[in-house]
Structure 1
């Protein structure tokens, strides 16, 4: 039984997938299996995977989105921990070793999260070195709410039993489905954030799913609805932790939507989060966002 199950969903990224797999195969830690889920690709993905048939387990489905693709791999995974890697991102040789160090040092936490190095061209990753290990440990994920580091599924290792217990990813085609998963894992015992070394090269390009305006709006709307319906763990005692995390995302996304010409979606999120922002409260955002949005919208129209 492998210790790590590396889960890579992919859709029409044959060229980038080849580079992603190459970064996996250079890992210092070799106690892993690789599961690639082809989410209905129509390019040369099948040929790329055929070249690695002895090193990769391939699962296929009709195109249903990366959440459903990841869930299919979770069903078939055999490792103790699942590690997620997007098919356009890259690992450093020390990535799995770093996760393993955190797991051993902090008593097998439910969730370990690393830190990314963003890049547009691969040569931009050349200066990234293996810094000394630094990490923060928390009783659970929700306890990390006051810390403003970037959170995403492309840099997490999760105990497979915990993933299955909370039901994996939502099947909805939304952005921030990884944040929804983290909220549902919120009270699972043990969360570690690895500050250094950096463990993932996060590729930024125009086709990144995180750049979809409508899906980003839907993702934050979904989180607000889930919180309102009481679907996230921790009850009233942990509500402030959950709201701190959700509303941080709302504030980021409303500004981003406005700057990219969708103030209508930003207003919808502002309205839906109004009560929660009053509860926390966040007066600077509540009073400052409307005039900022109007000014930003005018600037966008004048371009």
Structure 2
């Protein structure tokens, strides 16, 4: 049985998927299997995947979204850990070896999160180096609530049995399904964040799901509703930690939407978060955001 099952969901990204797979096959650690879940592609994805033969395990489904595709990969995984990689992103050669080092040195934590570098052209990653290993360890994911690192939920390796126990990803077509998963894994023992080296090249382009404003809006609402319903683990004792992370994300999304002319959606999310901000208030945001929305609206009318 391999240490890692690399799960790659894909939909109509044949040209980018080839680069992604090349970065997986360039890994210095070979104790892994590669699972590609074709989410109903209609381009040349099938022909591309056929060229790899038994180097990869291919699964196909009708188009149902990334969450459903990843869940199929989780069900079929044979490894102790599932390492997720989107079909437009790239790994430097040391990614899986770095995750293996964490697992060996940190007592096999449930979740390992890497550090990402954004790029548009692969050449922008040419200066990456396997610099000295630095990692921060926490009792569980919620215990990292006050840490200031950038959370890259698309750059994680997770114990396979834990993924199956919490039910995998939401089937909703939202852009926050990975953060929802992390919150549901919130009290599973052991969370490690790799500060160094960079373990993911995160591609930024017009088709990136992270730039879908409506999905970002719906995803943030979904996370808040899950918290309201008590769907996340930890109960009242861990509520402050959950809200610290949830509301940090909400503030980021509202500013992002405001910058792109989505004032109504930004204000709606602000209002939805008010009840939660009573627990972990951020007064500069609470008092300052409505005037920022007003100023943005006035500028757009000129």
1:244-274, CA deviations, whole angstroms, 9 ceiling, x for partnerless residues?
A: 0000000000011111111111111111100
- The reply on whether 1:87 has 2:91 as its aligned counterpart is no
| 2-structure distance, mates of 1:291, 1:71 | 42
TM-score (norm 1): 0.98
Superposition map of 1:238-249 within 5 A: 238-249=238-249
Following superposition, the deviation at residue 278 of structure 1 comes to 1.9
Question: SS of the residue aligned with 1:7?
Answer: strand
Distance 2:129 2:242 in 1: 34
Unaligned runs of 5+ in 1: none
The corresponding residue for 1:20 is 20
Moved over 4 A (4+): none
Partner of 1:145: 145
Say whether residues 1:5 and 2:5 are aligned partners: yes
Deviations 1:178-235 (A, max 9, x none): 0000000000000000000000111000100011111001111001000000000000
Corresponding residue for 1:208? 208
Aligned twin of 1:96: 96
Q: Deviations over 1:36-92 (max 9, x none)?
A: 000000000001101112201000000000000000010000000000000000011
Q: Name the SS for the 2:55 alignment partner.
A: coil
Equivalent position SS for 1:99: helix
- For residues 110-259 of structure 1, the aligned pairs below 5 Å read 110-259=110-259
Alpha-carbon displacement from aligned partner over 1:112-167 (angstroms, at most 9, x marks no partner): 00000110111111111111000000000000011132223321000000000100
TM-score (norm 2): 0.98
Q: Deviations over 1:6-33 (max 9, x none)?
A: 0000000000000000000011100000
* d(CA) in 2 for partners of 1:300, 1:17: 39
Which residue does the alignment assign to 1:43?
Answer: 43
Please list every run of 5 or more consecutive structure 2 residues that lacks an aligned counterpart in the other structure. Answer: none
C-alpha separation between the residues in 1 aligned to 2:88 and 2:283?
39
